[in-house]
Amino acid sequence: MKLKTILCTGLAVLLVFSCLVGCQSTATPNGSDEQPTAPASSDPTPTEPKTPAVPLAAITNAKALGFSAFDNQLVEFLKQAGRADENFTVSPLSFKAALAMAVLGAEGETQTQLLNALDYQNVDQLRAWYATVLEGVDDFDAFFDNLDVSEFSGSSREERTAAYRVVNSVWSNKDLPGDFRPAFLDDIRKTCHAEAGSAPAAELADAVNAWVKEQTNGLIPAILKDASNYSAVLVNALYLKSGWASAFHELGDRPFTTASGQIVQKPFMNQCADLDYYKDEQTQLVRVPLQGGVSMIFVLGDDTGLADKLSKAENKLVDVTVPMFDVETTLDHKELVDYLKLVGCEKMFSTDAEFAPMYERPLYVDDIVQKAKVHIDEEGLEAAAVTAIVMTEGCIEPEPETPEIFCADHPFSFYIVKDGAAPELLFWGQIVN
């Protein structure tokens, strides 16, 4: 193993659950009841694209990818909402982690709708799921803490750059009335390891963005443009950086056939190793392990029933050639809001949302935004979606068997998964152009 397999690129994703906008008191000075008015958008964009209407049946009947129903439906929704023909990536885990904090701060129908969407019967199940997320982080750290670094000249555990973080924070606006309730802050600290901050209205976006930049090692420098009208912001940041278990080799530029049939040049990489491999008439897939109990699954063709196909995969010598890539996606045109409304979470976006356990003043959710990035190259993974499997030196000798050939020189999908008894989907993405 070479040192560069540890000093690798990384992967980062951020979701901001913004913003729980403070509703003013529903009682007017003369005592009459008047519905509160939603504050004006802090960044009005009249011409911003509208998410195409997606029927509920289209996502509830989505093909089973092998992860949770929430993950399957989110991926299918984004495809049908206009991204099927473009390179994109999304982090279901980051989205769910941010929503977990909202669940802990909600009550009544608002909480019930969120739990149903996330496919949990009660809050205890949500807490148990998040405990497994944190265990995955601990397992990743333990792998590198126990790694024998004596073979690496001049290296030490302290010098390693591999990292896996799932971190949360909540932010309040000092210039607007109200604040987070102490019981809520204590709950999200214990359950989600979340920290709390506050800032004046004019500085709130900068404070959130500085936290985001630090937690993602600068991969995502900002998530908000202006937060001066927001009462509260809930933020999750997911960051992953790891090297391949077996090194890839750079192949240089090679042709890649896009979804439209156009041939373009992309930088490819290759490795030949014993890997989990599956093939049938519709699907070809290979699981490529990274260090720290993380793996990247490359799929050519149909990825329906991915978990079942992975369970049938056999460990074989596989010659893997994939492009190195960078993919970056911003979901800031209400896509995640529209998805939650479609799966039954309506009340959290209305002025009668029930977030009393979270905040001293009435709140409702104004927007949810996510930015995700993936970069992969011959050394490893950095950002939010990268596929770099290019062959240089061919197979390592001696190997008596003929390798299976996996060559992603045409559209493919990828999954970045934290391995375990119940694998967690960190990132999903596709490269089609």
- 380 part of a folded domain: no
Burial (0-12, 13-18, 19+ Cβ within 10 Å), 214: exposed
CA distance linking residue 91 with residue 75, whole number of Å: 10
pLDDT at residue number 59: 77
Name the helix (H) or strand (E) containing 287. Answer: strand 283-290
The 10s digit of each residue's pLDDT in 314-351 is 999 999 999 999 899 999 888 999 999 999 999 999 88
3-state secondary structure of 413: strand
Q: What is the DSSP string of 186-229?
A: HHHHHHH--EEEEE-HHHHHHHHHHHHHHHTTTSS--S-S--TT
Are 86 and 182 members of one domain?
yes
Q: Within a 10 A sphere around the Cβ of 279, how many other Cβ atoms?
A: 18
pLDDT exceeds 70 at position 394: no
Across-strand partners of 240? Answer: 11, 164
Are 282 and 212 members of one domain?
no
pLDDT at residue number 287: 95
Are 226 and 81 members of one domain?
yes
Are 318 and 238 members of one domain?
no
Say what the pTM is: 0.83
pLDDT exceeds 70 at position 133: yes
Are 366 and 418 members of one domain?
no
- 382 part of a folded domain: no
- 383 part of a folded domain: no
Mean pLDDT of the residues in the chain: 79
344: nearest Cα among 73, 49, 37: 73
**Based on the structure, what is the number of domains in the chain?**
2
Q: Tokens at residue 347, please?
A: 């009340």
Are 141 and 239 members of one domain?
yes
Between 9 and 216, the more confident residue is 216
- 381 part of a folded domain: no
Print the domain residue range for 133. Answer: 3-243+327-375
pLDDT exceeds 60 at position 18: no
pLDDT band at 93 (very low <50, low <70, confident <90, very high): very high
Give the DSSP letter of residue 103: H
Are 398 and 416 members of one domain?
yes
pLDDT exceeds 90 at position 61: no
- 228 part of a folded domain: yes
Are 222 and 304 members of one domain?
no
Are 316 and 407 members of one domain?
yes
CATH number of the domain residue 264 falls in: 2.30.39.10
Alpha helix positions (H), 264-370: 306-311, 335-342
CA distance linking residue 414 with residue 398, whole number of Å: 30
pLDDT at residue number 62: 62
- 412, 258 contact by CB (below 8 A): no
> How many residues appear in the chain?
433
HSE-up of residue 409 (Cα within 13 Å, Cβ side): 19
pLDDT band at 225 (very low <50, low <70, confident <90, very high): confident
Are 65 and 31 members of one domain?
yes
Are 145 and 208 members of one domain?
yes
pLDDT at residue number 6: 31
Are 253 and 115 members of one domain?
no
The 10s digit of each residue's pLDDT in 243-253 is 898 889 999 99
CATH number of the domain residue 212 falls in: 3.30.497.10
